[in-house]
């Protein structure tokens, strides 16, 4: 009598190549999509305010290192939405391009999303968009895409686009960071931009969405942003969950006035350990004062910026 082999026995004898082949058939892996062989899980949290009902975890898929236009990104979102294995996924866009005006397909995808949205990007957990924001056409199209897409499961976002900004672009950006209002997953925000819409930035930093942040990195050379940031740290919700703060090239910001705001935050009840980076000098006295408040404060240089100076990037390439 021949005994049937159990699933466990068959799995234990399957070779690596067979397992990879089976995984590829189940996941329908597209060319240019990288699979990370691990579960994308943040683990248990000691902050109950950050808890949220999550979709079942699968392999994390990432499409990165490419430039893309808005219609291409929207198509990728649609492709991931149709996958039967329902993976969590992320995009790392090297640069945001203008839509090909001669392509009927691109025009149709874009028109449907912009005029008949929203486009729900369920299971999109990571979004990085790099490049320069100075070209008006691409800046406006990126703003339109941010207004059209809703990402209820987003956890990490990096918008790293120095250059000319506009009020309409920043309004779309802060709106994307804040919506949907019930989202409790977005905990890591990094922005490099030339802020010109002070009211929008202030409203976002004081929002419920910002109160959930664990990591906040800001790099901008815009004037008068300093007071907006210091006010948000010392007043309002004061970022109760924040564990890492990096403020880069903020005009007029010193380690002393930053620590003064953080001391006010500490005295008002937010006493979790905090790691702080700043591009200004940090004296020994300031460092000691910070440690008393469970704050580790250090100065960072050009190599640690979200977006490095063009000269330094050229030197690295050479």
Structural domain contains residue 146: yes
Strand partners, 36: 60
| Domain end call among 191, 222, 238 | 191
Which of 55-64, 176-185, 191-200, 270-279 shows the lowest mean pLDDT across its residues? 55-64
Tokens for 36? Answer: 């990370």
pLDDT of residue 56: 52
Backbone angles phi, psi at 253, to 5 degrees: -80, 125
Q: What is the mean pLDDT of residues 189-193?
A: 97
Q: Is it the case that residue 13 has pLDDT exceeding 50? A: no
pLDDT of residue 117: 87
Q: What is the mean pLDDT of residues 52-65?
A: 67
* CA angle 217–218–222, rounded 5-degree value: 175
Q: Is it the case that residue 23 has pLDDT exceeding 90? A: no
177 and 293 part of one domain: no
d(C-alpha 154, C-alpha 15), whole Å? 36
Whole-number percent of the chain with pLDDT over 90? 75
Q: Is it the case that residue 240 has pLDDT exceeding 50? A: yes
pLDDT of residue 31: 38
Q: What is the mean pLDDT of residues 185-211?
A: 96
Structural domain contains residue 35: no
Which of 42-46, 97-101, 179-183, 250-254 shows the lowest mean pLDDT across its residues? 42-46
Alpha helices in 55-103 (DSSP H): 70-82
User: What range defines the domain where residue 116 resides?
Assistant: 55-191
Beta strands in 98-187 (DSSP E): 119-120, 124-130, 149-150, 156-160
pLDDT-based confidence at residue 317 (cuts at 50, 70, 90): very low
d(C-alpha 62, C-alpha 156), whole Å? 13
d(C-alpha 140, C-alpha 220), whole Å? 20
d(C-alpha 158, C-alpha 193), whole Å? 11
pLDDT-based confidence at residue 58 (cuts at 50, 70, 90): low
Q: What is the mean pLDDT of residues 210-229?
A: 94
Q: What is the mean pLDDT of residues 112-124?
A: 95
Beta strands in 98-165 (DSSP E): 119-120, 124-130, 149-150, 156-160
Q: What would the pLDDT profile of 24-51 be if each residue is shown by its tens digit?
A: 433 444 434 443 333 333 333 333 333 3
255 and 306 part of one domain: yes
- Domain count across the chain: 2
Structural domain contains residue 221: yes
157 and 63 part of one domain: yes
Strand 149-150 relative to strand 274-278: parallel, antiparallel, unpaired? unpaired
Q: Which helix H or strand E contains 276, and what residues bound it?
A: strand 274-278
Q: Which helix H or strand E contains 13, and what residues bound it?
A: helix 7-13
187 and 231 part of one domain: no
Structural domain contains residue 264: yes
| Residue with token string 């929203």 | 118
pLDDT of residue 311: 57
Structural domain contains residue 266: yes
Nearest residue to 243 via CA among 292, 294, 192: 294
Q: Is it the case that residue 310 has pLDDT exceeding 80? A: no
Q: What is the mean pLDDT of residues 134-156?
A: 97
pLDDT-based confidence at residue 126 (cuts at 50, 70, 90): very high
219 and 95 part of one domain: no
pLDDT of residue 266: 97
């Amino acid at each position: 009598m021949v005994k049937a082999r159990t699933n466990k026995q068959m799995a234990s004898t399957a070779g690596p190549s067979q397992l990879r082949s089976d995984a590829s058939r189940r996941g329908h892996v597209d060319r240019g999509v990288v699979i990370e062989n691990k579960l994308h899980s943040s683990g248990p949290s000691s902050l109950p305010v950050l808890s949220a009902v999550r979709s079942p975890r699968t392999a994390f898929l990432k499409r990165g290192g490419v430039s893309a236009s808005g219609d291409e990104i929207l198509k990728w979102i649609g492709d991931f939405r149709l996958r039967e294995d329902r993976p969590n996924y992320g995009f790392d866009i090297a640069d945001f391009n203008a839509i090909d005006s001669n392509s009927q397909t691109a025009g149709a995808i874009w028109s449907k999303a912009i005029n008949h949205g929203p486009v729900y990007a369920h299971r999109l957990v990571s979004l990085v968009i790099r490049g320069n924001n100075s070209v008006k056409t691409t800046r406006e199209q990126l703003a339109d895409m941010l207004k059209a897409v809703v990402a209820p499961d987003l956890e990490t976002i990096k918008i790293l686009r120095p250059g000319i900004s506009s009020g309409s672009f920043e309004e779309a950006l802060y709106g994307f960071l804040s919506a949907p209002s019930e989202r409790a997953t977005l905990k890591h925000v990094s922005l490099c931009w030339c802020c010109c819409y002070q009211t929008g930035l202030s409203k976002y930093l004081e929002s419920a969405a910002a109160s959930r942040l664990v990591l906040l990195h800001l790099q901008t050379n815009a004037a008068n942003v300093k007071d907006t940031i210091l006010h948000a740290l010392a007043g309002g919700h004061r970022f109760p969950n924040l564990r890492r703060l990096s403020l880069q090239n903020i005009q007029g910001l010193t380690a002393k006035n930053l620590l003064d705001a953080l001391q006010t935050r500490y005295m008002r009840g937010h006493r979790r350990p905090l790691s702080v980076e700043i591009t200004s000098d940090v004296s020994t006295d300031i460092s000691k004062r910070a440690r008393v408040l469970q704050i580790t404060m250090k100065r960072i240089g050009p190599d640690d910026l979200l977006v490095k100076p063009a000269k330094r990037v050229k030197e690295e390439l050479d």
